Amino acid sequence: MIQPIAALAGALVGAILGSFLATLILRWPQGRGVVGGRSACDGCGRTLAVRDLIPLLSALVQRGRCRTCGAHIDPLHGRVEAGCAIIGALATGGMPDLGGVGWALLGWTLLTLAILDWRHFWLPDALTLTLAFLGLTIGMWATDVILMDRVIGAAIGYGILLAISLGYRALRGRDGLGLGDAKLLGALGAWFGWQALPFILLIASMLGLVVMLVSGRVKSRTAQAPLGTFLALAALPAWIIVLRLF
C-alpha cells in the first residue's frame, strides 16, 4: 500500500533531482559544465531566477519558453523531471525506508543512462560503476538477494558482454558492442543477482528487435542499437519474473 506522505516526499525530491539530471543529459555529452555556477538560458544567456527553476511548474507557466528571449526550452527537462517524480513517489511510497531510497536511486540512474544511450550511445563509467556500487550496498535493502548472488551477477553480467565484445572485434576487426553495456549489465547483476540476467538479456533483446523493426533500421548493416537503453528498460520486468519463479 502506498504511503502518501512518503510518496509526496519522494516525488518532490525526484522532481528536483530530475531538473539536475535533465541538465546533465543535455550538457555532459557536449563537454559543458553541469556543477557550479548559475543556471542560464541557452538562448540569451540570462541568469535564471528561482521562479524560472521550479521543476515542472516553471516550464508550464512559461509555456516552454524563456521569459526574456522566448527561446524554446528543451521538453526533455519536463519529461525527466516528471519521470523522476513518478519514480520517487512509487519507490518511497511503496517502501518508505532505506529500501525505497535504493529503488529510487536505481530508477533515477537507469532513466538517465537510458536517455544518454538512446541519444548518444554513451554509458558513462561514472554512472554505471556507481550503480554497481549501490547494488552491492544500499541495494541489499531494496532487493532480497544475498550478497554472493549479487557478486556473481556483477561478474557474470560484465563477463558475458565483454566476451561478446572481444569476440566480435576479433572476428570483424571493429567494435560492435561497447563496454558500457557490459558494465551496465554487471551493475544490474549487482542489484538483482545472477538469476535475473537471462531474463534481462531476453527482454532487452526483444525490445531492441521490435524497435529496430519498427524504425526500419534493421535493414541497415551499419545501424546502431542503444542496447543500454533496452537493458535499463528490461531490469524491472526481469526482476518481477524472478520473483514469480523463485
pLDDT digits (tens, 9 = 90+) for 154-209: 999 999 999 999 998 888 877 778 899 999 999 999 999 999 999 999 999 999 99
The pLDDT assigned to 45 comes to: 57
Q: Are 198 and 223 in contact (CB under 8 A)?
A: no
- pLDDT, tens digit, for every residue of 85-127? 999 999 999 999 999 999 999 999 999 999 999 999 999 999 9
Please provide residue 47's backbone torsions phi and psi, each rounded to the nearest 5 degrees. Answer: -65, 130
Predicted TM-score (pTM) of the model is 0.92
Asked whether the predicted pLDDT for residue 10 surpasses 80, the reply is yes
Predicted local distance difference test score (pLDDT) of residue 33: 67
Give the pLDDT confidence of 30-73 residue by residue, as tens digits: 887 666 555 665 656 556 655 656 777 776 767 667 666 666 77
Binned at pLDDT 50, 70 and 90, residue 2 comes out as confident
**So what's the pLDDT on residue 205?**
95
DSSP 3-state of 164: helix
- Burial label for 144, CB within 10 Å (0-12, 13-18, 19+), is exposed
* Domain assignments of the chain as residue spans, ordered by start: 1-96, 123-246
Lowest pLDDT segment from 34-43, 219-228, 229-238: 34-43
pLDDT score for 176: 74
Query: According to the model, what pLDDT value does residue 133 have?
Result: 98
